[in-house]
């Protein structure tokens, strides 16, 4: 059977990535989401095995020793990693989307140069800041950390194959689906 294609999506905190991603996933039945392992605690509504595999530091470090990750990185004092076997397995059945930050994206690209890298960007810096503040669940200190990180992430966008602006979630998801269709149907 033909193997699926690998897509990597990155975007700074506050860019609206999860809404766009869920619309993208709804748009094609042959797309599968790669569920990462993380040591960060679940947020309300997040489910183990769906959003992430929520694991202990010990379990994560054991996976590192077993070379179980396609890539892994520390972010916000927590570990995040893409389980390699899961990606390979999913690629046998369709196309796979990874939602990972730029360090992880470039590490995967080194191992899988065929991966397509898509960067989701906010319409403007002011809008990103407004969206981050609008969440209401984030302290000023956290906002400052996230903005600093977002600035660095935005500087990485030149290294992505595609940059898609999220001024409207449906339109942004459609653009991503268009990119996926182009690549997925390519031999
Ligand atoms: P959050 O904690 O908000 O779900 O995710 C924080 C950041 O970690 C996001 O930028 C997300 O894309 C990234 N991330 C999620 N899973 C992985 C992973 O497996 N590897 C890497 N490198 N980053 C990840």
Distance from Cα 61 to the centre of ligand 1, integer Å? 17
pLDDT for 2 equals 65
- Ligand 1 near 112 CB (within 6 A): no
Position 47 scores a pLDDT of 96
Q: Which residue puts its alpha carbon closest to atom 13 of ligand 1?
A: 100
Can you give the pTM of this predicted structure?
A: 0.95
Asked if residue 155 is part of any domain, the answer here is: yes
Establish if 1 belongs to a structural domain: no
CB 116 less than 6 A from any atom of ligand 1 = no
Residue 18 resides in a domain: yes
Q: What is the pLDDT of residues 3-28, one digit of tens each?
A: 899 999 999 988 999 999 999 999 99
pLDDT in tens, 98-128: 999 999 999 999 999 999 999 999 999 999 9
What is the Cα 44 distance to its own chain's centre? 19
Q: Is the CB of 40 under 6 A from ligand 1?
A: yes
Please state, in angstroms and as integers, the Cα–Cα distance from residue 179 to each residue in 118, 125, 174, 182, following that order. Answer: 9, 25, 9, 5
Residue 50 binned pLDDT confidence (cut-offs 50, 70, 90)? very high
Q: Is 101 in the pocket of ligand 1 (CB under 6 A)?
A: yes
pLDDT of residue 54: 98
Percent of the chain with pLDDT over 90: 82
| pLDDT of res. 1 | 53
- DSSP strand E in 104-160: where? 116-121
Atom of ligand 1 at shortest distance to CA of 81? 19
User: Which among 7, 69, 101 is the best mutation to test ligand 1's pocket, defined by most ligand atoms within 8 Å of the CB?
Assistant: 101
Domain membership flag for residue 24: yes
What pLDDT, on a 0 to 100 scale, did the predictor assign at position 187? 61
CB atoms within 10 A of CB 49: 8
* Number of independent structural domains in the chain: 1
Please indicate whether residue 109, judged by its CB atom, sits closer than 6 Å to ligand 1: no
- Is 74 a member of any domain? yes
Asked, for residue 36, whether it belongs to a domain, the answer is yes
Q: Find the mean pLDDT for residues 64-81.
A: 96
Residue 69 has a pLDDT of 98
Rounded Cα distance, 151 and 32, in Å: 29
106 close to ligand 1 (CB < 6 Angstrom): no
Q: Which residues span the domain enclosing 129? A: 6-185
d(CA 170, CA 20): 7
Q: What CATH number is given to the structural domain containing 117? A: 3.40.50.300
Percent of the chain predicted with pLDDT > 70: 98
| Ligand 1 pocket check for 149: Cβ under 6 Å | no
Determine how β-strand 78-83 pairs with β-strand 69-75: antiparallel
């Amino acid at each position: 059977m033909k193997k699926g294609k690998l897509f990597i999506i990155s975007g700074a905190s506050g860019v609206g990535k999860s809404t766009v991603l869920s619309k993208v996933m709804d748009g094609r039945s042959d797309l599968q989401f790669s569920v990462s392992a993380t040591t960060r605690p679940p947020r309300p509504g997040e489910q183990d095995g769906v959003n992430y595999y929520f694991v202990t530091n010990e379990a994560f470090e054991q996976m590192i020793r077993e070379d179980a990750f396609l890539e892994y990185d520390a972010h916000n004092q927590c570990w995040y990693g893409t389980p390699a076997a899961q990606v390979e397995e999913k690629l046998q059945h369709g196309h796979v989307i990874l939602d990972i930050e730029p360090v992880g994206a470039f590490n995967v690209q080194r191992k899988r140069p065929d991966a397509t890298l898509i960067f989701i960007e906010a319409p403007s810096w002011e809008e990103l800041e407004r969206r981050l503040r609008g969440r209401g669940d984030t302290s000023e200190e956290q906002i400052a950390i996230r903005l600093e990180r977002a600035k660095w992430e935005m500087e990485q966008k030149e290294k992505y194959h595609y940059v898609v602006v999220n001024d409207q979630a449906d339109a942004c998801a459609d653009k991503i689906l268009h990119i996926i269709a182009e690549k997925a149907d390519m031999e």
